[in-house]
């Protein structure tokens, strides 16, 4: 009876400890942040109160045994020394944890150094979830993630002299924040220096091959060629599959899968597309800077549903609105199409191909001027009527592209005044709604998942 009473009291103590430790590990931001000393003081007071209500010496001895462990700052290990891993390490250290970063390469933040053409575009000027984040998960769940740390809060953290301390400047052309120094190395170095100043240990050339949970609910990291590393808490920030040369080769995915997490098959996003050029010509090297591209998604299949009488009825589903590319650059390559506008929309095409589903249509307005403007140009017979169709089109598009489009319309030697209505209508479609014929992804430049662009970890496994 005495033993069961002691165990019950000790169980209550352990439950309290879980809550207390959770509060220690809570990465709070803002004016309500407590000092590390305040957190530990509150934890000790909670333990002391728990000890005084224990009626048995056995329970009190167990509490005393846990007191030393409670005063020890929790050990938090971050797998991956990229932008996400370094940021997680920063806030874990500020919350009072003993933090270790395990980075498999010889330096941290390699993709930071590559971003923005080595200038490092650290933040967008504004954020639109439905436009900027490519996912077939729910927007509500994604919004919940971003509510935990707003764009303004992130910028304050980057600029504050007490935090990262980088001077930023907004580039109006791209609506992105860059360091005033235009140096990605400054961003990476300030993050690393800030972590070292906060007592974070960064272990380079340390590759994690597997994870095991210990009997006391800690984590054992199995390291390649080194002794195991044991930690209280673990953050996996190993990146996706985008650049194997800098370490993002899917290792984290394999580790998570072995640990029992649900995985969603990956598919390429932000990737060029392969396919023929207009008229089958080879137009590699042609660049355009003002195109308007949109993706027309296929109409979802009808769903069957029951009515009050139990009869099945077909429920019509509305076609989603076309998705407009935010950016306007387009490059015709040796294998197909690339450039910002293609990268903005390519995930829709690739996802359909990966799933063997009906493909969306990618429509291009080559000049970005719109159908009405081109109609006016074609109808202006006072100035253009006697001229060749190709001559007019070349005034507004690169010569090789203009020749290919006019040839595809079978109008190479035709004058504007000779165009029939059906020929004019077909030409307008080729100029303002040209459907790209794509065959696949040119290369696996970056990856997205069936839920979010977070590797292939299933977001439904997470709680927010």
What does the pLDDT read at residue 453? 38
Residue pair 46/53 in contact by the 8 Å Cβ criterion: no
What does the pLDDT read at residue 274? 95
Average pLDDT over residues 128-142: 71
What does the pLDDT read at residue 251? 82
Q: What are phi and psi of 226, to 5 degrees?
A: -135, 165
Instruction: Judge whether residue 271 has pLDDT over 80.
Output: yes
Give the DSSP H or E segment for 75.
strand 75-79
What does the pLDDT read at residue 457? 45
Alpha helices of 129-276 — where are they, by DSSP H? 129-132, 139-147, 151-159, 184-197, 251-258
- In the three-class reduction of DSSP (H, G, I as helix; E, B as strand; rest coil), residue 412 is classed as coil
pLDDT tens string 139-191: 787 888 888 888 999 999 999 999 999 999 999 988 899 999 999 999 999 99
Kindly tell me the burial class for residue 387, based on how many C-beta atoms sit within 10 Å of its own C-beta (0-12, 13-18, 19 or more).
middle
Average pLDDT over the chain reads 80
Average pLDDT over residues 435-463: 58
Instruction: Judge whether residue 204 has pLDDT over 60.
Output: yes
pTM of the predicted model over 0.75: no
Bridge partners for 220 per DSSP: 212, 230
- Which of 18-22, 55-59, 71-75, 381-385 comes out lowest in average pLDDT? 18-22
- In the three-class reduction of DSSP (H, G, I as helix; E, B as strand; rest coil), residue 204 is classed as coil
- Confidence tier at 456 by pLDDT (50, 70, 90): very low
d(CA 422, CA 429): 11
Joined together, the tokens standing for residue 419 give 């165009």
Which of the two residues, 446 and 194, has the higher pLDDT score?
194
Which of the two residues, 140 and 25, has the higher pLDDT score?
140
C-alpha distances (whole Å) from 425 to each of 214, 370, 420, 422, 430 are: 70, 14, 9, 5, 9
Which of the two residues, 195 and 147, has the higher pLDDT score?
195
Give the side-chain half-sphere CA count within 13 A for 458: 9
pLDDT > 70: percent of the chain: 73
Residue pair 348/454 in contact by the 8 Å Cβ criterion: no
**Please, what sign has the CA dihedral across residues 445, 451, 452, 457?**
negative
d(CA 167, CA 369): 38
- Which of 148-162, 239-253, 274-288, 422-436 comes out lowest in average pLDDT? 239-253
Give the DSSP H or E segment for 304.
strand 303-306
pLDDT tens string 321-354: 888 998 899 999 999 999 999 998 998 898 889 8
What does the pLDDT read at residue 306? 54
Instruction: Judge whether residue 312 has pLDDT over 90.
Output: no
- Confidence tier at 369 by pLDDT (50, 70, 90): very high
Residue closest to 6 by CA, chosen among 74, 89, 63, 83: 63
- In the three-class reduction of DSSP (H, G, I as helix; E, B as strand; rest coil), residue 311 is classed as coil
Per the document, the length of the chain is 464
What does the pLDDT read at residue 63? 53
Which of the two residues, 436 and 146, has the higher pLDDT score?
436
147 DSSP assignment? H
- In the three-class reduction of DSSP (H, G, I as helix; E, B as strand; rest coil), residue 372 is classed as helix
d(CA 91, CA 99): 10
Residue pair 437/407 in contact by the 8 Å Cβ criterion: no
- Which of 18-32, 77-91, 159-173, 244-258 comes out lowest in average pLDDT? 18-32
pLDDT > 90: percent of the chain: 52
What does the pLDDT read at residue 380? 80
d(CA 446, CA 242): 4
Sheet holding 208-213, edge to edge: 208-213, 219-223, 229-231
What does the pLDDT read at residue 304? 55
What does the pLDDT read at residue 68? 54
What does the pLDDT read at residue 327? 86
d(CA 320, CA 322): 6
Q: What are phi and psi of 320, to 5 degrees?
A: -70, 150
Residue pair 365/373 in contact by the 8 Å Cβ criterion: no
- Helix then strand count (H, E) for the chain reads 16, 23
Joined together, the tokens standing for residue 354 give 């990966």
- Confidence tier at 381 by pLDDT (50, 70, 90): low
**How far is residue 237 CA from its own chain's centroid?**
12
What does the pLDDT read at residue 3? 34
């Amino acid at each position: 009876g005495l033993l069961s009473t002691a165990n019950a009291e000790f169980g209550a103590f352990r439950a309290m400890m879980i809550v207390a430790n959770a509060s220690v590990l809570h990465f709070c931001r803002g004016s309500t942040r407590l000092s590390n000393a305040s957190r530990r003081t509150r934890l000790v007071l909670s333990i002391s109160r728990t000890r005084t209500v224990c009626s048995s010496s056995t329970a009190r001895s167990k509490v005393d045994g846990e007191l030393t462990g409670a005063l020890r700052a929790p050990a938090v290990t971050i797998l991956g020394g990229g932008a996400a891993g370094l940021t997680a390490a920063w806030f874990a250290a500020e919350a009072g944890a003993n933090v270790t970063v395990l980075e498999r390469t010889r330096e941290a933040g390699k993709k930071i150094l590559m971003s923005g053409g080595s200038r490092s575009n650290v933040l967008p000027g504004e954020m639109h979830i439905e436009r900027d984040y490519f996912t077939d998960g729910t927007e509500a769940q994604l919004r919940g993630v971003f509510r935990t740390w707003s764009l303004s809060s992130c910028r304050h953290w980057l600029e504050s002299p007490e935090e990262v301390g980088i001077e930023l400047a907004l580039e109006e052309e791209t609506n992105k924040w860059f360091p005033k120094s235009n140096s990605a190395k400054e961003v990476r170095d300030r993050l690393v220096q800030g972590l070292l100043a906060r007592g974070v240990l960064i272990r380079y050339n340390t590759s994690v091959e597997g994870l095991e949970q210990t009997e006391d609910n800690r984590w054992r990291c199995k390291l390649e060629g080194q002794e195991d590393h044991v930690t209280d808490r673990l953050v996996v920030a190993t990146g996706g599959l985008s650049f194997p040369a800098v370490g993002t080769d899917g290792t984290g995915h394999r580790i998570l899968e072995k640990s029992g997490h649900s995985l969603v098959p990956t598919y390429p996003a932000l990737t060029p597309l392969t396919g023929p050029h207009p008229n089958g010509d080879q137009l590699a090297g042609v660049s355009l800077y003002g195109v308007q591209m949109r993706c027309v998604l296929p109409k979802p299949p009808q769903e069957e549903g029951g009515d009050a009488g139990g009869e099945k009825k077909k429920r019509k589903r509305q076609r989603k609105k076309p998705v407009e590319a935010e950016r306007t650059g387009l490059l015709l390559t040796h294998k197909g199409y690339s450039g910002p506008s293609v990268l903005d929309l390519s995930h829709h095409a690739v996802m359909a191909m990966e799933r063997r589903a009906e493909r969306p249509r990618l429509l291009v307005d080559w000049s970005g001027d719109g159908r009405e403007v081109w109609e006016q140009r074609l109808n202006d017979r006072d100035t253009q009527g006697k001229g060749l169709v190709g001559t007019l089109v070349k005034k507004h598009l690169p010569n090789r592209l203009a020749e290919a489009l006019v040839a595809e319309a079978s109008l190479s030697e035709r004058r504007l005044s000779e165009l029939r209505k059906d020929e004019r209508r077909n030409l307008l479609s080729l100029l303002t709604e040209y459907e790209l014929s794509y065959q696949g992804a040119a290369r696996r430049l970056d990856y997205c998942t069936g839920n979010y662009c977070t590797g292939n970890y299933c977001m439904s496994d997470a709680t927010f």
